[in-house]
C-alpha cells in the first residue's frame, strides 16, 4: 500500500516502469501543469529494506499532467543517509489516466506515462542511460490517499 504525502508507487513498480518500450517524449510544460488529477501531490512507499543491508524509498510527484519519479538507496532504516546504488533513478515526463480493469469488483486506474531518464547509476545506467525516453503503463486501485498496486 502506498500513501499520499508519504506516497509513491512501490520501488519495484518504479523499476518495472523502466522496463517498458522506448519512445520519444515531448510536451509543453505550461499545458501539462494546468489540470489537477486524482494523483495530484506526492506519493511514497516509505523506507523499505533491500539487499546488501541497503534501504530504498521511491517518490512520485504528480502536478497537472506531469510526473517526476525518484528511487533512492539509503544506508539506514529511516532513509536519511542517501548512498550511491544501482537502484538510484530519476524520471520526468507526462501521463494520462484512463479506466483500467477490475479486480475483486474494484475499479483500477490505468496510468499511461511518457518518461525520460534524468539520472541513473551503476548497472541500471547501462540499460537506462540519461536522456533515454520510454512509455509505460501501470494499473492501481486508488482509494483516497492510498494506492494499491
Which residue, 12, 11, 10, 18, is CA-closest to 129? 18
Q: pLDDT 10s per residue in the chain (149 long)?
A: 555 443 333 333 434 333 332 233 333 445 555 688 999 999 998 999 998 899 999 999 999 999 999 999 999 999 999 999 999 999 999 999 999 999 999 999 999 999 999 999 999 999 999 999 999 999 999 998 999 88
Burial of 101 (0-12, 13-18, 19+ CB in 10 A): exposed
Q: Could you identify the residue written with the cell 490505468?
A: 110
Span between the terminal Cα atoms of the chain, in Å: 7
Contact 141, 108 (CB under 8 A): yes
Distance CA 34, CA 40 (A): 11
Amino acid at each position: 500500500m502506498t500513501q499520499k504525502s508519504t506516497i509513491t508507487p512501490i520501488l519495484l513498480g518504479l523499476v518495472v516502469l523502466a522496463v517498458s518500450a522506448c519512445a520519444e517524449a515531448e510536451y509543453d510544460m505550461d499545458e501539462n501543469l494546468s489540470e489537477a488529477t486524482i494523483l495530484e501531490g506526492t506519493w511514497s512507499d516509505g523506507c523499505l529494506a533491500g539487499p546488501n543491508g541497503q534501504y530504498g524509498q521511491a517518490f512520485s510527484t504528480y502536478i497537472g499532467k506531469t510526473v517526476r519519479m525518484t528511487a533512492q538507496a539509503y544506508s539506514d532504516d529511516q532513509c536519511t543517509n542517501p548512498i550511491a546504488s544501482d537502484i538510484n533513478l530519476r524520471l520526468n515526463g507526462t501521463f494520462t489516466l484512463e479506466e483500467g480493469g477490475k479486480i475483486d469488483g474494484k475499479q483500477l486506474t490505468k496510468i499511461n506515462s511518457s518518461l525520460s531518464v534524468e539520472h541513473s547509476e551503476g548497472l541500471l545506467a547501462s540499460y537506462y542511460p540519461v536522456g533515454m525516453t520510454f512509455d509505460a503503463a501501470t494499473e492501481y486501485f486508488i482509494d483516497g490517499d492510498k494506492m494499491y498496486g
